[in-house]
Amino acid sequence: MSPAQIALLPGDGIGPEVTAAARRVLEQIGATSGLELELEEALIGGAATDAAGDSLPAETLELCRRCDAVFLGAVGGPRWANLEGAQSPEQGLLRLRRELGLFANLRPVPVFPALIPAAPIKPELLEGVDILVVRELTGGIYFGPRQEADAEGQATDTMVYSASEVERIAHVAFRAAAGRRARVTSVDKANVLATSRLWRATVDKVALEYQDIELQHLYVDACAMQILRSPAEFDVILTGNLFGDILSDEASMLAGSLGVLPSASMAEGTFGMFEPVHGSAPDLAGQGVANPLGAILSAAMLLRHSLDLEAEALAVEAAVAATLDEGLTTPDLATSGSGGATTSELTDAIIARID
């Protein structure tokens, strides 16, 4: 069996630190399971702009295309905030998603019992919460035609969706629900937006192929309220690019911190890019306090979705849960009885518990 090839894109800010943690976990899985891994790093984001004048160098894109999966740390920061086009870290990330055909963003929101005190939500509301946000990633307002502000002070962003784009992401959500609690909540703004009316009608059509899956439609404002009022009601949330971006960040508060949450951006088949949901947090870079949990859980998603290693993914997730149960966290999740570990110490503890 040929080695699994994984591209590592550390990026900016705390990206290199959390990528190093994920790398160590993947190497541990390789050592304990006999899985042969080839891990190769490349530049992206502001670091690539500084070194090559382009936030997504051709060499990086070529590496990603020949690998089985990609792991990304984080991109961006104040140093590059005013750059545009090829030099913008955020535009580089959008280009990478587009070039690799990454259309389905999977954002699980697990609630670890040990972290419930860190969440700004009543503890009784968090019992049994396990949400998967399925976000369409290559369409919508982020990719539609836009016009920067003109002389009259008017700017335009256009939300565009086709039925085929909606069908493709809807199938991902329904298939995911079939392996979970068999419920999909499709989120739109169909009372106002034409694209949302297309979205709703198309999701209804796809749902006919999944008779065992319960489908519910919610407007995005109602969904935002329900996520905080009754989060345990949700199983799979299906939504577009803009709404998914906002709702998944809101849902992160159920888990206690953005630093805990992983994500996968999938193409057709098993190829995907895996990254923690958090940003580059440049104010924390180099201090050894960055939370590696989102990155480590993203590595578990890589094992599951791109390498078909379910047992190994479960082993990583169980090690994270066991470590948290013993009260070990980084300072961002510190409560009266836990916290204070460095990035490296928390990673060490998790690796020691991987069985």
The active-site residue, picked from 157, 204, 221, 283, is: 221
What confidence score (pLDDT) does residue 338 get?
A: 56
142 part of the active site: yes
The active-site residue, picked from 12, 54, 235, 245, is: 245
Q: What angle do CA 275, 132, 190 make, to 5 degrees?
A: 110
The active-site residue, picked from 50, 130, 219, 249, is: 249
332 part of the active site: no
Closest CA to 258 of 271, 268, 245, 267: 245
Report the C-alpha gap between 351 and 153 in whole angstroms.
Answer: 54
If you ran DSSP here, which 8-state letter would residue 10 be given? E
What confidence score (pLDDT) does residue 146 get?
A: 92
- In the block, which residue shows the tokens 């298939």? 175
The active-site residue, picked from 68, 142, 161, 332, is: 142
Report the C-alpha gap between 318 and 124 in whole angstroms.
Answer: 23
The active-site residue, picked from 161, 189, 210, 332, is: 189
**% of residues, the chain, pLDDT over 70:** 98
189 part of the active site: yes
Q: What angle do CA 12, 49, 23 make, to 5 degrees?
A: 35
Q: For residue 6, is pLDDT > 70?
A: yes
pLDDT tens digit sequence for 254-297: 998 888 999 999 999 999 999 999 999 999 999 999 999 999 99
Helices (H), the chain: 15-33, 46-52, 58-66, 89-99, 163-178, 194-207, 220-229, 241-255, 293-305, 310-325, 343-352
Q: Which residue(s) pair with 6 in the sheet?
A: 39, 69
Taking residue 129's Cβ as centre, other Cβ atoms within 10 Å add up to 21
